[in-house]
Structure 1
Amino acid sequence: MVDKIGRSLATALVLVALGPASAVRAGADSVYDLSPEQTGRIHVKPNPQAIAAVPADFRFVTPGTFTVASAVGGPPLNTYATDAKTVVGADPDLASAIAESLGLRLTIIPVAWADWPLGLSSGKYDAVISNVGVTEQRKEKFDFSSYRKGGHGFFVRLDSKIGPISEPKDAAGLRIIVGAGTNQERILVRWSEENVKAGLKPIELQYYDDEATQLLALQSGRADVIVQPHSTLVFIANRDKNIKRVGFLSAGWPERSDVAITTRKGSGLANALTIATNGLIASGDYAKILDRWQLSEEALAKSETNPPGLPKY
């Protein structure tokens, strides 16, 4: 048994060390295309309404180009292609479709997550498309055009008998892997408290140092469920083919939580981006983009300018 667990851990560590592109080639190359060419990318025609909504006095960073910042975090949202320099993923695909809707070329600038607020405020790029969640605090400094649901996934072993998880009682008594200090931890602590008040068993939260040991704990039976950002677990499920989704939870539970294109406050560009996004939704191209990256569960029915954001905690 120890040897089996040791071999599983070694395999998991190798996959993590190889990085996302190698992991995809090893196990899910038929699902994700991480080539720099992106031959399957969805292309669209210019949207006259969106173009007309761009304020006459708005100046793009580079004329004729939509310059977008992306904090490269990992597949399937935004990652480096197999050439180790081209940024690909669901967010770059959306950025490309928005640029084409506006009749513009696209330039993606990779940035560190901590750097995008200052870079956007100082005019280094026109927008940020990088899984930025809408919050009331961020709305004080930026404008938003929503394009995806922010959510966490509940995933279990492929052979698990655990049923759907959609509310606190569904998780009572389960051993759940979660990241320390994360939003999902905050939610699950509240769920556990609600369960105890209702006379149900508390949730046992488990913490591990890295992804490899988290996945090993799940596969070895030391944990029942893993909760992480939904998109991350979707990628892992397609890569490893040994976990499955049993639940999707709003990242702002019990409130809604949208992910949005982020622009400078008062720049006037947000309305045009909202119109462009709704044009993609109406044409079906938006659905194709999400489906290409296995993220259909995160689809919004419509884009909104400055939708309700998560409250200040």
Structure 2
Amino acid sequence: MTFLYRAKRLMAGAVTIAALGIGSAQAADKFDLSPEQPNRLRVEKNEKRIEEVKDFKFVEDGVFTVGISTSGNLPLHDYASDSKTVIGYDVDFAQVLADSLGRKLELVSVAWADWPLGLTSGKFDAVISNVTVTEERKQKFDFSTYRKDELGFYVKAESPITTIREPKDIAGLKVITDAGTNQEKILLEWDRQNVAAGLKPVEVQYYDDDAVRNLAVQSGRADVVLSVNATQAYAAALSGKTKLVGTLSGGWPITAEIAVTTRKDSGLAAPLTHVVNDLIASGAYRKVLDTWSLGSEAIDEAKTNPPGLPKSGS
């Protein structure tokens, strides 16, 4: 996947509060959208990991500087109710990393397509902005994994569909997905396998408008939505009108993971991986995920530079 393709894929799965017909007050009842974030989890500094980064030259003394996209894409990142403070899962996760390293967190807003240049030029120490590990990116950057790159199958809350795990489970269904994305590619391959096996074909539907897509599911014109799990999980938690019935890797059939991205051979990746594993062991890692309804995307173990998605054409 190229940087632009990944960005398009992420935006295709975004679900806005307005599209769901949910007021900001109702959203605030479910999630803390305040700029103050009084309930944000904080953790104690980790002396062992601080020692591991003593020779790393941070952008600023006493600070962990993180590049992050600020485009509206909750639960990952967006502006708070004051329209200027960035909040979301990525921010909360960056905070516990900074706490563990005994440093203040500094966020630097960066357009998603611009993070590679910003990181290599030294504008920030790391990028935490839904970056998937790929073999192409590993040539220039190091990675410390922290979340599954996951797609989700969602149906309306009252749907009789309870589980979607494999291609045969979608045979004959009306499935909405996002054009030009990994999820569309996977859906079409599942449909091809079904048809080859003599099963009913899928009716694939596309909607540019989230409100229209949501209405199609609720009215029964569509059975299932296959899209980015994070935004769908957030929408389901807000509205209560949809439910998760299955997930699969965004790189299916290969497992894909999201990772903290750092400069190649900078020496920061391994310590950050250790920090994530410490947070997993303490339970803090899962608490941050659950705050934003992302528990299904938890990993069991963080890894440094694991196998990534293959280069295009390979």
TM score, norm. by length of structure 2:
0.91
Find the aligned partners of 1:149 and 1:198 in 2 and give their Cα distance. Answer: 30
- Secondary structure of the residue that 1:27 maps to in structure 2? helix
Q: What is the CA-CA distance between 1:31 and the residue it aligns to?
A: 2.2
Matches within 5 A, 1:103-252: 103-252=102-251
Find the aligned partners of 2:277 and 2:17 in 1 and give their Cα distance. Answer: 39
Find the counterpart in structure 1 of residue 70 from structure 2: 72
Find the counterpart in structure 1 of residue 45 from structure 2: 46
Query: For 1:60, which of 58, 61, 73 is the aligned residue?
Result: 58
Find the counterpart in structure 1 of residue 310 from structure 2: 311
Residue identity opposite 1:200 in structure 2: L
Find the aligned partners of 1:272 and 1:298 in 2 and give their Cα distance. Answer: 22
Find the aligned partners of 1:67 and 1:167 in 2 and give their Cα distance. Answer: 41
Aligned partners of 1:66 and 1:106 also within 8 Å: yes
Residue identity opposite 2:59 in structure 1: V
Aligned-residue identity in percent = 54
Find the aligned partners of 1:283 and 1:24 in 2 and give their Cα distance. Answer: 36
Residue identity opposite 1:60 in structure 2: F
Aligned partners of 2:19 and 2:211 also within 8 Å: no
Find the aligned partners of 1:51 and 1:259 in 2 and give their Cα distance. Answer: 23
Aligned partners of 2:176 and 2:206 also within 8 Å: yes
| Unmatched tracts of structure 2, length 5 or more | 1-14
Deviant stretches of 4+, over 4 Å: 15-20
Find the aligned partners of 2:41 and 2:129 in 1 and give their Cα distance. Answer: 18
Find the counterpart in structure 2 of residue 290 from structure 1: 289
Q: What is the CA-CA distance between 1:90 and the residue it aligns to?
A: 0.9
Matches within 5 A, 1:7-22: 16=16, 18=18
The more displaced of 265-274 and 203-212 is 203-212
Find the aligned partners of 2:83 and 2:236 in 1 and give their Cα distance. Answer: 23
The more displaced of 151-160 and 235-244 is 235-244
Aligned partners of 1:28 and 1:238 also within 8 Å: no
Find the aligned partners of 1:189 and 1:49 in 2 and give their Cα distance. Answer: 48
The more displaced of 293-302 and 28-37 is 28-37
Find the aligned partners of 2:295 and 2:162 in 1 and give their Cα distance. Answer: 21
Find the aligned partners of 2:290 and 2:176 in 1 and give their Cα distance. Answer: 27
Residue identity opposite 2:306 in structure 1: P
Aligned partners of 1:55 and 1:269 also within 8 Å: no
Aligned partners of 2:19 and 2:210 also within 8 Å: no
The more displaced of 69-78 and 25-34 is 25-34
Q: What is the CA-CA distance between 1:144 and the residue it aligns to?
A: 0.3
Superposition RMSD in Å? 1.7
Q: What is the CA-CA distance between 1:242 and the residue it aligns to?
A: 0.9
Find the counterpart in structure 2 of residue 3 from structure 1: none
- Secondary structure of the residue that 1:75 maps to in structure 2? coil
Find the counterpart in structure 2 of residue 268 from structure 1: 267
Find the aligned partners of 2:107 and 2:264 in 1 and give their Cα distance. Answer: 21
The more displaced of 233-242 and 142-151 is 233-242
1:179-214 superposed Cα distances (whole Å, 9 cap, x missing partner): 100110011111111111111112221111121111
1:42-75 superposed Cα distances (whole Å, 9 cap, x missing partner): 111111221122151x211111100001112411
Find the aligned partners of 1:140 and 1:202 in 2 and give their Cα distance. Answer: 40
| Unmatched tracts of structure 1, length 5 or more | 1-14
Find the aligned partners of 1:236 and 1:24 in 2 and give their Cα distance. Answer: 12
